[in-house]
Amino acid sequence: MSDPNQKSRTQFNKLQKKLRHTVGDAIADYNMIENGDKVMVCLSGGKDSFTLLDILMHLQKTAPVEFELIAVNLDQKQPGFPEHVLPEYLESVGVPYHIIEKDTYSVVKRVIPEGNTTCGLCSRLRRGTLYGYAEANNVTKIALGHHRDDILETFFLNIFYGGKLKAMPPKLLSDDKKNIIIRPLAYTREKDIERLAAFKNYPIIPCNLCGSQENLQRQAMKIMLNGWDKQFPGRLETIFTSLQNVAPSQLADTQLFDFAGLMRNPQAEEQVMTFIARDGVYAASQSGTGAANAGLDVLAQ
C-alpha cells in the first residue's frame, strides 16, 4: 500500500517545481530582475503575495544574479486587521520587511458612498503609498502578486466595459516614470497558487475586512473564464498566448498603425508566394503576374 504522506510530498514537490519554473520563465522573458536590484514585494496577506515572496526567496538563492528582497505591507487601519500575523510570519522566514501604517480606510469610507464598491479607490491609495515608499528607499523593482488569471480577467474587463484592448503587462513603467512594476506570477495559474497555499498553510488574511464586496464585473469575468477552462481545456492558454502575439496592422487603431499612410509598391520586382497544394506547401518565387498565375494553377489542381 502506498504511503499517502509520500504521495502528498511528491505532489507538493512537483507543484513547487512547476511554479518556480513559470516564475523563472516570466522573469527571464521580460528581464524583470537584474543584478543589483532591490526588489520590494508588496505583501497583502493573500495567497498570491505569499506565493510570490516564497518563490522569489528561493530564486534569490539560486538565480545567476544577485538582488535584494524586502517585503512591504501597508496596514490601512481596517477594523479587525490582525497586525501581528505578517510580522510573525516574515520574521519566521527571515526576510527583511517593513510595515507601513497609513489610515487609508477612513479616507475611503469618507469618500465612497455607503454600499458602493471601495476597491478602486482603496487600491489607488495603496499604490500611491507603496510607490512613495519605494522611491524613498532606493527600490528598483516593485513586485506585485497578479497572476495569469488576473491578467486575463483585466483583459476582458477592458474589452467588455472599457472599450480598450489592454490588460496587465508583466512589466510596467509607472506613469511618473519613477517606478518599474513587475509581475513574476504572470505565467502562473491561480489554481496552482491555491494548491501551493494549501500545502504551505500560509497565514492568509482575507481581503474582506472593510466589508466591501468584490467588484461584480471582475467576478463575472472570473466565472466566465473558469467556465471556459472547464468546457474547453487549453482555451485560456491560447488567449494568453494571443497577448504575446499582437499584430497591430490587423487591428484598427490608427494611433498604433499608420493605415492612412499605406501605399502600393508597383516597383516591387519579386514576390514570394506560398501556396498549399495537395501534397504539401508549394513556394513560388516569380515576378509580377507570373507569381499570381502560378498560384492559381496550384490552387486549381
Interval 153-208: pLDDT, tens: 999 999 999 999 999 999 999 988 899 999 999 999 999 999 999 999 999 987 66
Mean pLDDT for 76-82 is 82
Is the pLDDT assigned to residue 68 strictly greater than 90? yes
Count how many Cα atoms sit within 13 Å of the Cα of residue 276 in the half-sphere of its side chain: 0
Is the pLDDT assigned to residue 287 strictly greater than 50? no
Model pTM score: 0.83
Percent of the residues in the chain that have a pLDDT greater than 90, as a whole number = 64
SS3 content of the chain, % helix, strand, coil (to 5): 50, 15, 40
The b-or-e profile of 113-132 (16+ CB within 10 A means b, else e) is eeeeebbebbeebbbebbbe
Question: What is the Cα–Cα distance from 160 to 55, expressed in whole angstroms?
Answer: 34
Strand partners of residue 274:
283
Is the pLDDT assigned to residue 36 strictly greater than 90? yes
Segment among 74-83, 138-147, 234-243 with least mean pLDDT: 74-83
Question: What is the Cα–Cα distance from 97 to 73, expressed in whole angstroms?
Answer: 8
- pLDDT confidence of residue 77: 81
Nearest by Cα to 147 from 37, 240, 16: 240
Question: What is the Cα–Cα distance from 272 to 283, expressed in whole angstroms?
Answer: 7
Question: What is the Cα–Cα distance from 206 to 216, expressed in whole angstroms?
Answer: 17
- pLDDT confidence of residue 117: 67
Mean pLDDT for 12-32 is 97
Residue 257 carries which DSSP code?
Answer: S
Is the pLDDT assigned to residue 285 strictly greater than 70? no
- pLDDT confidence of residue 270: 54
> Three cell numbers at 108?
475611503
Mean pLDDT for 64-78 is 92
Question: What is the Cα–Cα distance from 76 to 107, expressed in whole angstroms?
Answer: 10
In the three-class reduction of DSSP (H, G, I as helix; E, B as strand; rest coil), residue 191 is classed as: helix
- pLDDT confidence of residue 236: 97
> Three cell numbers at 250?
490587423
> Three cell numbers at 53?
515572496
- pLDDT confidence of residue 164: 95
* Band (226; pLDDT cuts 50, 70, 90): very high
> 188 to each of 15, 17, 20, 158, 237, how far by Cα in Å?
11, 12, 9, 21, 11
Distance of CA 230 to the CA centre of its chain: 21
Tell me how many degrees the CA angle 43-119-89 measures, rounded to the nearest 5.
20
What mean pLDDT, rounded, does the chain reach?
A: 86
Q: 89 Cβ partners below 8 Å, 6+ apart? A: 202, 203
Nearest by Cα to 199 from 24, 51, 73, 56: 51
- pLDDT confidence of residue 297: 45
